[in-house]
Amino acid sequence: MKLIAQSFVVLLCLFASKLRANEASTDASMRQRSLVSEGDPARIQAVLEKARRLEPICIAAIGGSITAGGEHTKDPKRRYVQQIANWFEKSFPGLQVRMVNAGIGGTNSVYGALRVQRDVIAHQPDLVVVEYAVNDSTGISKLDESYEGVLRQLLASSPSRAVVELFFMHKDGKSAQTEQVLLGSHYGLPMISFRDAVWPELQAGNLKWEAIYDDVVHPNDSGHDIASELLLSFLRTSLARLMKRDSDRPVVAPVPAPLISDTFEHCAMFRAADLKPLSSEGWALVKNNAWECGSAGGRLEYEVSGQIVMLGRSIPAVASDLVEMTIDGEAPRAVSRDGHNLPVVTRLQPGSHRVAVVVKPFGKSKEADTEKVRIFWGGAAGMASPLPLK
């Protein structure tokens, strides 16, 4: 009888281990590992106090396709930002909660810095989760300067806004977490690492990648459940520590001086339709909101203010190495097919600059006749002030 009981216990352990490997859940050790830093509690307490007063709040997230969810999450309600919003509604009955999911697939913090004002800050969010650890790990160039720009814009635009950093990872474990932790520490931000919580479980065989990810990058519904549990663990702890009186809350510290630079704190982005060329030859603005140039080539000139110039573009293979950018009439610089979310030109002198995008003729083949070089948006960072682009 004793042998049967022991065998039963062993079977239960094996079953629990197998269940754990195929289902998403967190335990105390995972939640503890995930908490890189609680950060300065003043801002998150300000958000919780506002919720306690039942004043309407807004929860937002900005990042790439992980945050967006898309086809990788079958149930939109399980995306981590939605689950945060749901937690506030349940924790504070009667509270009105708006949710803004500003995730866009295939984008990094360079593009994020350009659009955070329009896509996030304009909605006046009280709590913002920033998720760029995977897409900022490009292997091409470090993007900590643009990431700092996203953080600085969010913090400087509201003294009571809470900003939380969230770190995911690629299947090989790589991410930009190390660089982003340095910035989070500098600004006293709460930091939650999905990677630190999950990676040891994957290595130990307690959890299977396929159980929580849809591919090598994108968490599925179960993966978002884990991320949500980690974030909510932090929020529950913060709520438990909330002062009884609002007047007892710690004072929000001023935004410190930049750790790297404030270049990406001062950004502007314009859509193709907003681009007003100083001159144009061989280019045309088409209905799908893009400037197009065909195989005959062309030149498009416009003015921009800033120290860094960016260009959202699509360059066909047949036109590789045939697209250039000149600044103020200086030597041309190649515009690559890849990296449309990365700066094209950096280290410019502050002030206004004349930009020319030049496409050299790329053949008379049937393939070339149907291909187009396209510009979808332009951007600048390091502006003295956010002046409109011409």
**Strand-pair category, 290-293 with 267-271:** unpaired
pLDDT of residue 146: 96
pTM value?
0.89
Q: Kindly give the residue spans of alpha helices, DSSP state H, lying in the chain.
A: 2-22, 28-34, 41-52, 65-68, 80-91, 109-119, 144-156, 177-186, 194-204, 209-212, 221-240, 366-370
Residue ranges, the chain, pLDDT below 70: 1-24, 139-140, 288, 365-368, 384-390
pLDDT of residue 20: 39
pLDDT of residue 24: 56
Cα–Cα distance measured from residue 349 to residue 327, given in angstroms and rounded to the nearest whole number: 11
- Three-point CA angle 82, 85, 87, nearest 5°: 110
pLDDT of residue 232: 98
pLDDT of residue 97: 98
pLDDT of residue 10: 39
Distance of alpha carbon 54 from the chain centroid = 29
Domains (range + CATH), the chain: 2-248 (3.40.50.1110), 266-381 (2.60.120.260)
